[in-house]
Structure 1
Amino acid sequence: MTRYGYARVSTLKQDLTEQIDEITAKGVSKDNIFSEKMTGTKSNRPAWLNLMSIVKSGDEIVVTKLDRLGRSLQVILKEIDQLTAKNVKVTVGNMSFDRSTAVGKLMLNVMASFAEFERDMIVDRMQGARAYRRKTDPSYQEGRKRKLTPQMVDAMREYYQNHTQVQTAKAFNVSPRTVGNYMSKPKNY
């Protein structure tokens, strides 16, 4: 029997240290902890898929919270069902779920429903905040801030007249594709 840990955060800016420390405190070797920075709404997470490919009957996977396995009821139950079919135990915090009992199934469904509910509430709050900003702040723009200012684009256009797309990309610290995108657009940005 091997004990594994799985730690996940949703964005690159978040830190995995707290989850990893909690998992190691439960007796899992750091060498057996799989971690990644990726949204839980995706099921094709590389570290998770790697872990799923090596666990075998009798092994255990430890996570700090159920929503680390996924953010929707469907995804969480699918992952747990796959692990249960392999006879792999899942421990969440201080709880383990025995899907062979009615109480175990109920507890898992309730906890997974709350994980999905929490995700939905986060999305609702973010959408509400964006709608409020659009309504009250005329300068508000959604999405990532542009890396290039209009002045930089003008300079890039001028530079591009005497250089290749790759040379221009290197000079302005952007990808060649970005250069191509800007050069193919009319000058009204």
Structure 2
Amino acid sequence: MRLFGYARVSTSQQSLDIQIKALREVGVEKNRIFADKASGSHVNRDGLSLLRVKVEHGDVILVKKLDRLGRDTADMISLIKEFDNLGVAIRFLDDGISTEGAMGKMVVTILSAVAQAERQRYLSELMKGV
């Protein structure tokens, strides 16, 4: 089993440092951390694409928070299924959950739906302020 890490921030002005530090602290080697500076709603992210190519059956991907992998429920479920089909698990450090096992997959699906609802509420509030 090899550990990989994935980090993402939404804009180029934001820093990946906190996420990368957390991944390094749990044992992910620097050369196995993949990162993007792009909105989670973008399906085509270079770091995520490269991670997809590098992982193999039995590997584990560590992500600091659920919403760093993807904010859209459909995208999140698709990514989880894709990695699961490869035999690759995903663990979310801050949330203390993993896609390992049926219960973990269910929790991730529920939490990703909540994250999407929160994002829609936030965007709705922003639009009211305009």
Distance 2:98 2:52 in 1: 18
The CA deviation at 1:97 is: 2.0
Partner of 2:20: 20
Q: RCO (CA 8 Å, sep 6+): is it higher in 1 or 2? A: 2
- Normalising by structure 1, we get a TM-score of 0.65
Superposition pairs of residues 35-50 of structure 1, within 5 angstroms: 35-50=35-50
Take 2:75 and 2:36, find their aligned partners in 1: how far apart are those partners? 17
The match for 1:141 is: none
Task: Give the corresponding residue for 1:157.
Answer: none
Give the structure with higher Rg (CA): 1
Confirm or deny that 1:62 pairs with 2:92.
no
Give, in angstroms, the shift of residue 88 of structure 1: 0.3
4+ residue runs over 2 A deviation? 103-106
Figure out how many residues of one structure are paired with residues of the other and give that number: 128
Counterparts of 1:58 and 1:109, CA distance in 2 = 21
Gaps of 5+ in 1: 131-189
What is the correspondence of 1:1-189 to structure 2 with a 5 Å cutoff?
Answer: 1-93=1-93, 94-98=96-100, 100-101=101-102, 103-130=103-130
| 2:98–2:105 Cα contact (<8 Å) kept | no
- Between 114-123 and 13-22, the greater mean CA deviation after superposition: 114-123
Once residues 23 and 117 of structure 2 are traced to their aligned partners in structure 1, the CA distance between those partners, rounded to angstroms, is 25
Question: What displacement does 1:124 show?
Answer: 1.1
Instruction: Give the C-alpha shift of residue 14 in structure 1.
Output: 0.8
Structure with greater strand share of residues:
2
- After superposition, the CA RMSD in angstroms is 1.2
| Letter in structure 2 aligned against 1:129 | G
3-state SS of the aligned residue for 1:125? Answer: helix
What is the CA–CA distance in structure 2 between the aligned matches of 1:89 and 1:74, rounded to whole Å?
18
**Which secondary structure does the structure 2 equivalent of 1:110 belong to?**
helix
Gap runs ≥5 in structure 2: none
TM-score, normalised with respect to structure 2 = 0.92
Q: What is the aligned partner in structure 2 of residue 160 from structure 1?
A: none
Per-residue CA deviation, residues 32-53 of structure 1 (Å, 9 max, x unaligned), is: 1111110000110011011111
Contact persistence 2:97–2:108 (CA under 8 A):
no
Task: Tell me the CA shift for residue 118 of structure 1.
Answer: 2.0
